[in-house]
Amino acid sequence: MKIPLSYSIRNLAVRRTTTLMTALGIAATVAVLLAVMALAEGLRSAFAATGHPLHVLVTRKGSDSELSSNFERRVFQDLLYKPGIASGSNGQPLASLEMVTVINLPAADNPDGVNVTLRGVGPAGIEMRDLAMPQGRWFESGKREAVVGKSILARFPTAQVGDTLRFGKGEWQIVGVMDGGRSAVNSEVFVDLNQAASDFDRSSVLSSALLRASDELARNALINDLETDQRLNVAARTERDYYASQMVASAPIQFLGTFVAIIMAIGSSFACMNTMYAAVARRSKEIGTLRVLGFSQWSILTAFFLESLALAAIGGLLGIVLVLPLSNVSTAIGSFVSFSEVSFNLSVTPSVMITGLIFALVMGVLGGLLPARMAARKEILNALRDI
């Protein structure tokens, strides 16, 4: 004969103070894990949203990033004749020669300054990225003008439209704000390529080339062609693959957060176990009565085990509620690839919430199995003596 599920749920309600305290411990553990996962998911979403599926990023062979790549102008001229490159609105190949470096800007919460990616581009680079312009206009070629990403606008008080930034050999006026959706472009500053190259004394050696293929087959063929061309000595990959490789920036935080969550989970499992052991001790006469009424050991084990799972599920749901306000909260993290800050929004997705709930249920399993086994193995006479 099976014990109704309502029996286990009612016992949690009757002992609501103990239930709440244990559930809050589990909730805190789940909240720590979910906060770390939301950070990693937000960063992954930002990098995944960066780049066009047909874009090919070309850097010097052996370079891990655009920042460390020495890409020559003469190589770029050779790339323009490669088959498979799409044409732009002016009939020219959609290929952008670019220079990437790092500048330091004073932030609202860091007066000493924060590293920001500066990207020198030409008209083709702007056309290829399909960026919105919510404020101002694009810079004019040959002028010391800059366009900042919307995350730069929000984080740096000295980077507003009409303000000036000092880097390179002089001052640059901010003339516009670009919006790249959820992409990492929002954390960059765009300027005219030739003007930036002159300021940083990099007229002939720049950073990378961005190419748009005509279709997916042409993209794959173009990558293979570039990789095998010994004259060029370049590395080619899709732009999305390049940004996906930058997820290494979140690895230390993800590891530390997960480690802390596991330590807390062990403590929460013991708290759940103690709660269930105490419940078994207090309800000894109930267990004896249930056995006399004909309920089997398996039914009693199942009832107490389900009670532990319900307790863990309550804690897991509370943990999700605690973390939900963090969704879409803007934050920033330093990248070990670009040595600059990347701004993004924390993302508490359904998959993140499901993971947190499963994590809580695992704590319930670990904390409830042994007490449930003890309750099931209690001798009828010993249990009835407590009446």
Those residues with Cβ within 8 angstroms of residue 260's Cβ, 6 or more apart along the chain or in another chain: 32
Q: Which residue has the higher pLDDT, 366 or 229?
A: 229
pLDDT score at 68: 85
pTM: 0.75
Name beta bridge partners: 93.
87
Task: For residue 239, count other CB atoms closer than 10 A to its CB.
Answer: 21
Query: Is pLDDT above 90 for 246?
Result: no
Average pLDDT taken over every residue of the chain: 81
Question: Looking at residues 159-175, what average pLDDT do you find?
Answer: 90
What token pair was written down for 145?
């003008």
pLDDT score at 152: 86
Query: If we measure between CA atoms, which residue out of 57, 46, 348, 16 comes closest to residue 223?
Result: 57
**Cβ(153)–Cβ(190) under 8 Å?**
no
Those residues with Cβ within 8 angstroms of residue 86's Cβ, 6 or more apart along the chain or in another chain: 54, 93, 94, 212, 213, 214
pLDDT score at 178: 94
Q: Which residue has the higher pLDDT, 102 or 385?
A: 102
Residue 57 φ/ψ, nearest 5 degrees: -100, 125
Residues in the chain: 387
Which bin fits 334, alpha (ψ -120 to 50), beta or left (φ > 0)?
Answer: beta
State the pLDDT confidence band at 113, using cuts at 50, 70 and 90. confident
Query: Is pLDDT above 90 for 97?
Result: yes
Domain ranges for the chain: 5-48+249-384, 62-232
State the pLDDT confidence band at 31, using cuts at 50, 70 and 90. confident
Largest CA-CA distance found in the chain, in angstroms, rounded: 94
292-340 per-position pLDDT tens digit: 666 666 776 677 777 778 888 888 899 999 999 988 877 766 665 656 6
**Cβ(152)–Cβ(163) under 8 Å?**
no
Query: Is pLDDT above 90 for 1?
Result: no
Query: Is pLDDT above 60 for 249?
Result: no
For residue 106, the SS3 value is strand
State the pLDDT confidence band at 378, using cuts at 50, 70 and 90. low
Report the Cα 358 to chain-centroid distance in Å.
20
**For residues 97, 99, 100 and 105, what is the CA-based torsion angle, rounded to 10 degrees?**
-130
Those residues with Cβ within 8 angstroms of residue 279's Cβ, 6 or more apart along the chain or in another chain: 11, 15, 18, 304, 307, 371
215-228 per-position pLDDT tens digit: 999 999 999 999 99
Query: Is pLDDT above 70 for 204?
Result: yes
Q: Which residue has the higher pLDDT, 76 or 281?
A: 76
Q: What is 10-41 written as a DSSP string?
A: HHHHHTHHHHHHHHHHHHHHHHHHHHHHHHHH
